[in-house]
Amino acid sequence: MNEDFLEELIAERSGANEQFAERVEAAFRRRELIRQLAEIRTSLSISQTRLAALMGTSQSAVARLESGDSDARASTLARYAAALGRRIEFQVVEGT
């Protein structure tokens, strides 16, 4: 999908629903966070299977999370980060 089409689609849907653009942006931020966590996991040479054991979940759940096939809860992302010896910091900011 090209960027112009995506931008047009977001603009079109935002006209019908004011919160649509915010939700899309939040999804992009979550996806970037998951990408960063997976990159850290790989750099530490931790397998999905080992990470899953540390998190108390299954390897397939970790794979779904990393592939974007599931909408991760904040608590799941926090457990993932903790299994890597990291933490996620949340911040409240004024909306656009």
Q: Does residue 88 sit within a domain?
A: no
Which of 34, 45, 43 is CA-nearest to residue 79? Answer: 34
The count of structural domains within the chain is: 1
pTM reported for the whole predicted model: 0.76
pLDDT tens sequence across 56-65: 999 999 999 9
Q: Is 42 part of any domain?
A: yes
| Helix boundaries (H) for the chain | 3-16, 20-43, 48-55, 59-67, 74-83
Q: What is the mean pLDDT of the chain?
A: 85
In a domain, 96, yes or no: no
Residue 93 lies inside a defined structural domain of this protein = no
Residue ranges, the chain, pLDDT below 70: 1-17, 96
Q: What is the CATH number of the domain that holds 70?
A: 1.10.260.40
Domain membership of residue 20 (yes or no) is yes
Domain hosting 52: range is 3-83
pLDDT at residue 12 in the model: 63
pLDDT at 92: 87
